[in-house]
Structure 1
Amino acid sequence: MTTHPSGPSAAPIVDDTPAKAPANRWLVLAIVALAQLTVVLDGTIVNIALPQAQAELGMSDSDRSWVVTLYALTFGALLLLGGRIADFWGRKRSFLVGMGGFALASAIGGLAASGDVLLLARGLQGVFAALLAPAALAILSVTFPGGKDRVRAFAVYGTIAGGGAAIGLLLGGVLTEYFSWHWCLLVNVPIAVVAIAVGFRVLRESRAEGSTRYDVPGALLVSLGLASVVYGFSRAEAGWGRADTLGFLAVGVVLLALFILVEARSAHPLLPLRIITDRVRAGAYLTSIAVGAALLGALLYLTLYFQIVLGMSPLVSGLASLPMTAAIMVSAGVVTRLLPTVGPRILMTAGPLVAAAGLLLLSRITGGSYALEVLPAQILLGMGLALIFVPLQNVALLGIAHRDSGVASAAVSATQQIGGSIGTAVFTALYTAAAATGTPEGSAGGLQSLVDGYSVVFVAAAVALALASPISWFLVDVARDEFTTSDEAVHLG
């Protein structure tokens, strides 16, 4: 059977991977899931450790912000190139090298005795994550070519993508409170050792056949363009009218526009335009941007609310975030069974609305009871995210030729990274404006001004999520039988 085509003008591409899935595919899923968890939680686990690391290493506030920015910058800028390297060089090889490099960078950061070394390590983490993340998702895509097992595999992957950030907050709280900030980075080393040892034995190599020439102009344009956009949004936290903010955003947009023009004319494009111009995948990518923005922004300010307003320790704050993750995991099992029956369109339309309802409920916080004001909202948010994440990865890679699995997987991660950068910048600006209209933080009513700012952020995140609902309804129109075909019968191309 031929699945959803890559676009109206997509040329047929010879399948380079056997259609029959390997016998040890569930062990492959475990290794890929472990790698995904490492990449996702590393975006939040360090946030908990930052105050302690800053004090110990004598870092300025500016240097502290770069600990977060450098990871996002290198990761986001190199994702598409990393995905193409995985396609051409080999997905197993790229996975193992990416995992090993990520572990080495984590060890350097965990043992850092100065702020400069820590910053270098975070940049290196982003570089290797840009190779690891698309390779892992591409391996999953070619290991589970179709059918109900593919739905289950991507449900696990999507659950980790949705809940990994909250797990990072919990793990960061435990390690910071009972050990030290160093372990928030060093914890990646034993995880990587296990993933590499098992992955070396069970992963099968796969790569694109035919021409494997790299699109050097495209790689330079998209890397510099994405880096400029991500950095521009990171600077927007200090003010949207700043010259550097507007300048980097403008340069990024121009470079990405030039990238599209180059790809349209290239005989060996880094990102074949059929991948992003397909209506269904475009809907999935736009939804991914909206969800990435809302999720990362909401989690950041929910954590601040726990620690500053409710006075929770880092550990208790991490525990307080778990209900959302639990709701995602429980709901994911239900959604996995529903997907072959109702298809992704209804689920991805309802999911943003359910999650947005949770955020709107969260916006009614007063600084009072966690059980009454926060817990029900987290459960709704988790349920809505499960409705989105379980089908999202599936839809984004549906019908992708095996030749393009790596770069298409990178495009999924890139949309989430860009969404997170946009969300953090926009929500920070909204929070700052809302909190500034209240009473000063140090005064008797200072906490209320913070609560007002957090409420505005949650409303804005709800709006961003709600926008994903019509996008999914009008664009993500996939037949249900795409998710019920047996693995052996599927042929992508």
Structure 2
Amino acid sequence: MPLITATRTPNSATPKRRGGNIGLWLVMLAQLMLVLDATVVNVALPHIATDLHFSHSDLSWVLNGYAVAFGGLLLLGGRIGDVVGRRRTFLIGVAAFTLFSLLGGLATTPALLVVARALQGLGAAFAAPSVLALITTNAPDEGSRNRALALFSAIASMGGAMGLILGGVLTDTANWRWTLFINVPIGLLVLIAVPRLVGETPRAPGRFDIVGAVSATGGAVAIVWALIQAPDYGWFGTRTLGGIAVGALLIGLLAFTERRVPHPLLRPQLLRSPSRVGALAAMAATYGGMLAMFFLMVQYLEDQLHFTPLVTGLAFLPMPLSIFAMSRVIPRLVERVGAVRLVIAGAALRVVAFLPLTQLSPTTNFALVAGALVATGISAGMTFMPLTTLALRNVEPEHAGAASGLFQTMQQLGGAVGLAIVASTFAAFAAPGDFTVGGRAGFWAATTLSVLALAAVAGLARRRRQEA
């Protein structure tokens, strides 16, 4: 699959022909690193809980600290890339991500690890939008754009499962701290090589919407915190409802601000397309259900079936293999069948894959679990690339950074909120020494998220027919 090289513009440096493709491969490697970190510590969670003395409810912050900061600041990262230059912003983000990966691996308390994970998310929020923006602005034609998006989508959808496998290998052969240390050599390689091999993009004039960044991130943190703490304080407790109310007010402030500032963080015109809104909602629910499934499945395999971290990671191998297989044929299927039909079929398959997991027991045959993982991988391959295409269709090049930031924001925040809901449900029904009691409730919550994703894409089909 050829990579897309940067186009010539009067105001930007053209990448050197020799090594240009290598540079873009390194950019994709950095994107893979950012995606891996959403789940690479997942397999290590039981070991982290033991070493640093995490509680059941607080443990999910090791994942959500990263996801909330990543999702909450992606819009700002996309805007900074447009104004400052996408390569420069990308490198700043990779540098921060690498530094805080090192500090996270050295953490000695739960608070230090969660803070390091959140600052990793900040670095990822600066780096990630530039990757997708470079793809969407440099493709010479629609076919090349679809192939490049297929590669990006394969990384986005395979990265989560690959993170589980890598996390298992590192935890078993070394210890959980290496799930963070592994980012350091990769980050240093990218920081040294990319400036030599990848050219800068033109800059766009404008200012930064700080109020929008604060309200978006603060709203996400408040809502996720309230959902995670709900089992401790009660679903209708003052702290739970208060946290959700504060989050809703901050999101309302974001909506109010973005209509009035000259250089908004979230461009209102990007939300005027019903198809784009439907694709964003479907991506949020889809990614939320998948991250929640990873969180629960790791604990089932390690706590209930007593798998080692390595065996647990390898148990997820069918998933990235099926995603990779689908990524080879999806661009052609999009042209023949249409993106919307593929997304509907993929969402329906994911619901079917999740339903058997709601009946897990200590005697469940592992073949059932493996079948669910394969079906989930196929469904991810059928939905991620078409949803990316639908969300970024008809976006002007000068708004590519903002649009890609919005898309990845919905993905990350959907993952954080979905994981918070499922983790809270699991904790509320958990029984000491028996995963399956809380686990079945958690998988029902994950299945509900998948049903919501199916409803969103069904609505997307109706909107597409109306627009046609």
Alignment TM-score > 0.5, same fold: yes
Classify the secondary structure of the residue corresponding to 1:46: coil
Tell me by how many angstroms 1:95 deviates. Answer: 0.7
Q: Give the conservation status (yes or no) of the 8 Å contact 2:101–2:184.
A: yes
Cα deviation 1:155-184 (Å, max 9, x = unaligned): 111112112111111111111111112211
CA, structure 1 residues 383+377, in 2 after alignment: closer, same or farther (shift >3 Å)? same
Q: Give the conservation status (yes or no) of the 8 Å contact 1:96–1:196.
A: yes
**Matched ranges for 1:281-430 at <5 A:** 281-368=276-363, 370-430=365-425
Q: Would you say 1:92 and 2:105 are equivalent positions?
A: no
Q: Give the conservation status (yes or no) of the 8 Å contact 1:359–1:458.
A: yes
**Matched ranges for 1:30-429 at <5 A:** 30-57=25-52, 64-144=59-139, 146-209=141-204, 211-236=205-230, 238=232, 239-368=234-363, 370-429=365-424
With 155-164 and 114-123 compared, the bigger mean Cα shift is at 114-123
Cα deviation 1:370-405 (Å, max 9, x = unaligned): 453112222222111111012122222222222222
Q: Could you tell me how far apart the structure 2 residues matched to 1:393 and 1:176 are?
A: 33
Tell me by how many angstroms 1:59 deviates. Answer: 5.6
Q: Could you tell me how far apart the structure 1 residues matched to 2:11 and 2:357 are?
A: 47
Q: Could you tell me how far apart the structure 2 residues matched to 1:95 and 1:111 are?
A: 25
Cα deviation 1:462-486 (Å, max 9, x = unaligned): 4233223313312356999xxxxxx
Classify the secondary structure of the residue corresponding to 1:48: coil
- Name the aligned partner's letter for residue 113 of structure 2: L
Cα deviation 1:37-63 (Å, max 9, x = unaligned): 212221211233344344444566676
With 108-117 and 418-427 compared, the bigger mean Cα shift is at 108-117
Tell me by how many angstroms 1:68 deviates. Answer: 3.3
CA, structure 1 residues 371+336, in 2 after alignment: closer, same or farther (shift >3 Å)? farther
Partner of residue 456, structure 1: 444
Tell me by how many angstroms 1:108 deviates. Answer: 1.5
Q: Give the conservation status (yes or no) of the 8 Å contact 1:233–1:421.
A: no
RMSD after superposition: 2.9
Q: Give the conservation status (yes or no) of the 8 Å contact 1:427–1:460.
A: no
Q: Could you tell me how far apart the structure 2 residues matched to 1:338 and 1:28 are?
A: 29
- Name the aligned partner's letter for residue 100 of structure 2: A
Q: Could you tell me how far apart the structure 2 residues matched to 1:82 and 1:190 are?
A: 23
Q: Could you tell me how far apart the structure 2 residues matched to 1:459 and 1:122 are?
A: 28
CA, structure 1 residues 79+459, in 2 after alignment: closer, same or farther (shift >3 Å)? closer
Cα deviation 1:130-173 (Å, max 9, x = unaligned): 10111222122223254212111111111121121111111111
CA, structure 1 residues 180+335, in 2 after alignment: closer, same or farther (shift >3 Å)? same
Partner of residue 465, structure 1: 453
CA, structure 1 residues 454+116, in 2 after alignment: closer, same or farther (shift >3 Å)? closer
Tell me the matched-pair count. Answer: 457
Identity of aligned residues (%): 35
Q: Could you tell me how far apart the structure 2 residues matched to 1:254 and 1:313 are?
A: 44
Cα deviation 1:342-390 (Å, max 9, x = unaligned): 2212111211012211112433434445453112222222111111012
Q: Could you tell me how far apart the structure 1 residues matched to 2:466 and 2:25 are?
A: 28
Gapped regions of structure 2 (runs ≥ 5): 1-8
CA, structure 1 residues 362+70, in 2 after alignment: closer, same or farther (shift >3 Å)? closer
Classify the secondary structure of the residue corresponding to 2:242: helix
- Name the aligned partner's letter for residue 141 of structure 1: T
Classify the secondary structure of the residue corresponding to 2:235: coil
CA, structure 1 residues 449+230, in 2 after alignment: closer, same or farther (shift >3 Å)? closer
Partner of residue 4, structure 2: none
Q: Give the conservation status (yes or no) of the 8 Å contact 1:29–1:153.
A: no
Q: Give the conservation status (yes or no) of the 8 Å contact 1:105–1:122.
A: yes
CA, structure 1 residues 321+255, in 2 after alignment: closer, same or farther (shift >3 Å)? same
Q: Could you tell me how far apart the structure 2 residues matched to 1:390 and 1:22 are?
A: 29
Tell me by how many angstroms 1:32 deviates. Answer: 3.2
Tell me by how many angstroms 1:427 deviates. Answer: 2.1
- Name the aligned partner's letter for residue 403 of structure 2: A
Q: Give the conservation status (yes or no) of the 8 Å contact 2:154–2:323.
A: yes
Q: Could you tell me how far apart the structure 1 residues matched to 2:453 and 2:409 are?
A: 18
Q: Give the conservation status (yes or no) of the 8 Å contact 1:432–1:453.
A: no
